[in-house]
Structures are given as structure tokens and as C-alpha cells.
Amino acid sequence: MNDSIGSANIQTKLTRKQKEAVGLLSVGTFLEYFDLMLYVHMAVLLNELFFPKTDPFTTSLLSAFSFCSIFVFRPLGAIIFGYIGDNIGRKATIVITTFFMSISCIILANLPTYAEIGIAATWIITMCRLFQGMSSMGEIVGAEIYLTEILKPPIQYPIVMIIAIASILGGTFALSIAALSTSFGFNWRIAFWVGAGIALIGAVARTTLRETIDFADAKRKIKLSLEENKIAISILKDDPIYKEKAKKLTLLSLFFIQCGWPICFYFTYIHCGNILRNKFEYASEQVIHQNFLVSMIALTGYIIITFLCYKIHPLKILKFKVSLFIPFSLLTPYLLNNITSPSQLFAIQAFFVLFVLSTNPATPVLYTHIPVFKRFTYGSLIYAISRAMMYIITSFGIVYLTKYLGNWGIILILLPMSICFTLGILHFTKLEKESGCYY
């Protein structure tokens, strides 16, 4: 199913209401990812405050556990918010998740450290991270689907990319706060308070959003049809629009594509951060500083892609990226074995963020091939499961694979993921060609 077929559905400009929606969703996504990534990028500091001190290997495992904790309950969040999004509305989901993220930040800002309350601090912060992970899942998927459904190509592609840019900006800003905290003694608790306060304001502002056209129009047509024929609402369970299912191969292909981002992200920021600490004896503030520079490269790459996808079909851009990523990933273990300076590692990190394997800028293309009344549920569930599964496999996998196989063990994660990503892109390319939307 594709919502963007035919010249009548071409859009090149935004209406005033659409501009307002883009602004509200972008600011909200920025704040959500600032709140979410603040702990991720400050883990080198905060893990020392909220987790017991252990040997280096155990510390690596605790770091992996802390990182994964925000993703393991995302599938549950996907089921909850997917149901809300597909049955109540996209708008409701976006508002609710913003409120939830704010509550988590308030708790984090006031939580006593391990030295003050012991293991209770570890459990409480882990629960907060689980809560944040569930909320952030509904946030970004909700924003992307909302814009996908109120816009049409070609402007749909760069505008939905703005949500991705907002999430990168949120992470970059979180890194800058982390740098201030570690380098200049800036109180990190203030950052969580600021994030919580602005998130509350953003949630209230988002209540002014209108429901998406695709969702509202589909429900309106069914309701009118039932009223005209004097049919009870219970008959909807047999309605073909409600019962329409996405093809299994399409859902599997979307899953394959979604698996790319978590592996690239973990390798770039977490694994390479560990290399900086262990091989080059970088302090926490130096690791954070280098990761901040890497995030600026990532932001630059996303901005370039945003301009390109207005003229070039998003799937073509993804094909180009994966064609360069696969050979480079095969060389990565050799490069890691022979680097002699942090700047050389920075070059590897820069490549991974510039050619990161993710759904962007093809996110709206992928979602339009999922039935409208299943789009939020399937989209959020696949997003959540792929993140949870791949972050667990990657974080713990890299710890053990590099322990026994050295850097060559990384290929056992990168290569299968790259192949699956390619197969997913080829499937959606076929669907786009069949619908006449591939140019």
C-alpha cells in the first residue's frame, strides 16, 4: 500500500498548519533525544556515580547493561503506544510520551548516588532508563508517521528528515552538556531539570496539533459508511480496511533496515569510546569531547542528505551508502589493529556516522507500504524490537567477540547486518517501482 501514487499527490510547499506541526514535532523530538541521550553520553561519568566500582571487564558489562536498559522494554512500549496511536490517534501518543519523558528526567535530577543509598540507586536509575526508552520509542515513530501522513512527496522526504536531524541535534546538545559537566564542573542535574521543564511545555504545546489526515480521513469514511447503512460499529472487526494486513516480507524488510542504526551507533560512540579509554588512556572528558566532534560530523551528513533527497529518491541514497559501507566494514578490524592515534580512530568514527545504515531519508517511503490502521503498531513494534535486539547483540557481542577474536570479531556483527540491510532496500525498491514512485 502506498499513499504517494500519482501526480495529484505531489507536494512542493508547506501550508501554515503544516509548518506549525513540523516546528512542534521537531522541537519535541530534539528535547526527547536530549533527555534520552544525556545519560548515554554521560555514562562514563554517571555510571561511576550510580553503579558499584568493579574490574575493567565487569565495568564493560555494566556499561553494556546500562546502555541496553533503555531498549529492552521498548517492545512493550511499542504495543502500548502502538495501540493508542492506531486506535485513539497519532496526536495522543505524541503528547503522552512527552509527558512521560519529563517525569523520568525529574526523577533522574533528584536521584541520590550509589554512595548515598547503595544498590537502590542502581535499580532506580535503571527503571528510569527503561521508562525513558519506552517513551522515546513512541515519540520519534509518532513524529515520523505524523509527518508522513500529512505530507506528500517530494517535500515529504526532506521534512521527515528534519525529525532525524532534531534527534541528532538533541544528542549533540546532550554531548555538549556532558562536556561542560566533565570539563568545567557544570552540575549535570541542572541539565535534567531543564530538559524536564521544557518537555512539559512541549507536551502542552503539542495538544494544539491536529490529527493526521490519513488517520482521521480513514476513520471518517468508515464511520460515514456505517451511519449511511445503519450498521453497528461492532461490524468494524470484519471491515477489510481494518483487517488489512501488511505483507510479511515487507515487515521483515523493514526490520532488516531498522537493524542498521543501533549497530552503527554503538560501535561509533560506545565501542570507540572504550578504545579511546583503554588504548589511548583518554579521560572521560576527552572521550566525550571526541564524541561531540563526531556528532557534528553526523549532523552535517544528515543536513546534506536532507537536501539531496528532495531531488534523488531516498532508496537510491541508501543503496549508495550501503555500497560504500560494506567494503569499509570489512576493512574496519584491520584499521583498528593498526591505528596509532585518536585522530585515526576519529576518521573511522566519521565514516560510520556519515554512511550510517538507517531508514533515513527513506523513512516515509517505508511507512507508506504499511496499512494505515496498522502503521503505528507495526512501525513502532519493529522499531522497538530491532533496537532492543540489536543493541543487546551488539553491546554484549562486541565485548565477548573482541575478547576472544580481537577486532576481527566485529565483522561477525557488521557483515550479516549489512547484507540484511541490502536485502531490505531491494524489497522496498521493488515495491516503489511497482507503484510507479521510483525515479
More confident residue, 413 or 238: 413
pLDDT at residue 1 in the model = 43
At 128-174, the pLDDT tens digits run 877 777 766 656 777 888 888 888 888 999 999 999 999 888 888 88
With the C-alpha atoms ordered 344, 345, 349, 351, is the resulting torsion angle positive or negative? positive
More confident residue, 242 or 188: 188
CATH of domain 7-435: 1.20.1250.20
pTM score: 0.78
CA angle, 434 as apex, 428 and 435 as ends, to 5°? 90
Mark 240-251 as b/e (b = at least 16 C-beta within 10 Å).
eebeeebeeebb
What does the pLDDT average to over 208-222? 55
Highest mean pLDDT among 42-51, 224-233, 402-411: 402-411
Give dist(CA 291, CA 268) in Å, integer. Answer: 8
Radius of gyration of the chain from Cα atoms? 22
Highest mean pLDDT among 65-69, 149-153, 181-185: 149-153
Q: Considering the chain, what is the average pLDDT of its residues?
A: 81
Q: For residues 178 and 42, is the Cβ–Cβ distance under 8 A?
A: yes
pLDDT at residue 15 in the model = 84
At 234-284, the pLDDT tens digits run 545 555 555 667 789 999 999 999 999 989 999 999 899 889 988 999 887
pLDDT at residue 233 in the model = 47
Each domain of the chain, given as residue ranges in start order, spans 7-435
Asked if the model's pLDDT at residue 6 lies above 50, the reply is: no
